[in-house]
Amino acid sequence: MSLIASPQSLLFEQPLQLQGGGVLRGYQLTYETYGELNAQRSNAVLICHALNASHHVAGEYANQDKSQGWWDNMVGPGKPVDTNRFFVIGVNNLGSCFGSTGPMHVNPDSGRVYGADFPVVTVEDWVSAQARLLDKLGVAQLAAVMGGSLGGMQALSWSLQYPQRIRHAVVIASAPNLNAENIAFNEVARRAIVTDPDFHGGHFYAHGVVPKRGLRIARMLGHITYLSDDVMNTKFGRMLQSGQDFKYSTQEVEFQIESYLRYQGDKFSEYFDANTYLLITRALDYFDPASAFQGNLQQALASAQAQFLLVSFTTDWRFAPARSREMVQALVANQRQVSYAEIDAPHGHDAFLLDDARYLSLVRAYFERILSETPA
């Protein structure tokens, strides 16, 4: 019997002051929960999503094939984050396009769809909004907050913004900030979107079009960076899409990798919002908790009280193990409780979403430890 998920939404009337200076006067958060909050309200786990995921972490929707949550291999009944024992919350972040208030919603100030006018949101803003959701759900303290990649940044930020409200932070395939190369990739993706003639300065909704060309290219580029050289070569190599011979064409699909990337780009452009892509990549770029401490990460993490598990993957060059080690080093220097695993997986950044027995066993063991310390 698989887990049936059902999304819910809550309206927040209290304005949210944003880090960038703007204010969201009122907003909606869409979320899902799995499992039961125990009587002590001590077994809640918040899962933070990365770039293109959502509140739909686990389970599937009733009567909807292939609707598994994006981390269904990690979260669910009997899974490493066991929903028979933990109350798990997935929440769609502000500015996203899967239910929570975002650029395609109506701006109460103007009565028009936000579009490009949606205020820039940061990781810190997301965490503040998530904390308000927990208030409404009656969760004063999380047993753990967990996320991969950009989700890991939110977990890290939780430990700094609300050090007393989390007992554990599980930070996977993440980094304490983006390096120049990472910002560069984001910028190329953004330029692809913004220069698409269908973008209309971000107000394409009114024109009844979607800047799909830009979204496709953004996704193709992103996809390359989520894989490793080895995996791409193993999966595609130089295999041709059809036949044994070159077509000697500059525009037709020739190699299988081209077809694969075009397919991924097409699929993405059908469901993802262009303004959301801009907003979320910007949130990635801006995240840098050490910046308030002249770049000193050790000082930045001094306020963290949580116990940490960090995991990285050896072939992840987008969020390389060295970036995780920086965080481990800063936590060790602050004498925080931290464990760190470097999983030798071939799949690049994507590995954090895939099945690897060592990785899943480790997370399972860590959550069993959390449970053993959790007041029941």
Q: Closest CB to another protein among 67 and 329?
A: 329
Cα separation, 345 vs 192, in Å, equals 31
Cβ proximity to another protein: between 110 and 335 the closer is: 335
Beta-strand relationship, 44-48 and 142-148: parallel
* Residue 309, phi then psi, degrees to nearest 5: -120, 125
Catalytic entry in 82, 196, 273, 316: 316
- In this structure, the number of other CB atoms found within 10 A of the CB of residue 373 comes to 12
Q: How far apart are CA 145 and CA 159, in angstroms?
A: 9
Count other Cβ atoms within 10 Å, centred on residue 90.
27
Query: In this complex, which beta carbon is closest to another protein, that of residue 256 or of residue 329?
Result: 329
Residues 6+ apart with CB under 8 A from 348: 225, 226, 227, 228, 231, 313, 315, 316, 317, 318
Choose the catalytic residue: 55, 56, 347, 349: 349
From the candidates 42, 128, 149, 228, give the one annotated as an active-site residue: 149
Closest approach, Cβ 341 to another protein, in A, equals 5
| CB 329 to another protein: min, Å | 5
Q: For residue 316, indicate whether it is catalytic.
A: yes
Q: Closest approach of Cβ 344 to another protein, in Å?
A: 7
Q: Which is nearer to another protein, 134 or 370 (CB)?
A: 370
CB of 367 to another protein, least distance (A): 10
d(CA 297, CA 295): 6
Query: How big, in percent rounded to 5, are the helix, strand and coil portions of the chain?
Result: 40, 15, 45
Nearer to another protein, 73 or 259 (CB): 73
* Separation between Cα atoms, residue 340 and residue 171, nearest integer Å: 10
In the bound state with another protein, the residue whose beta carbon lies nearer, of 28 and 314, is 314
How far is it, in rounded angstroms, from Cα 50 to Cα 234? 26
Helix ranges restricted to H, the chain:
123-137, 150-161, 180-194, 212-226, 229-235, 256-271, 274-286, 297-300, 321-333, 357-373
CB of 342 to another protein, least distance (A): 5
Tokens of 157: 């930020």
The residue among 56 and 336 lying less far from another protein, judged by its C-beta, is: 336
CA distance 69 to 48: 13
CB of 337 to another protein, least distance (A): 6
Residue 125 C-beta: closest distance to another protein, Å: 32
Residue 34 CA to residue 32 CA, distance in Å, equals 7
Contact residues for another protein, defined by CB under 8 A: 309, 325, 328-329, 332-333, 335, 337-344, 358, 361-362, 365-366, 368-369, 372
149 belongs to the catalytic site? yes
To the query of whether residue 56 is one of the catalytic residues in this protein, the response is no
Annotated active-site positions, please?
Answer: 149, 316, 349
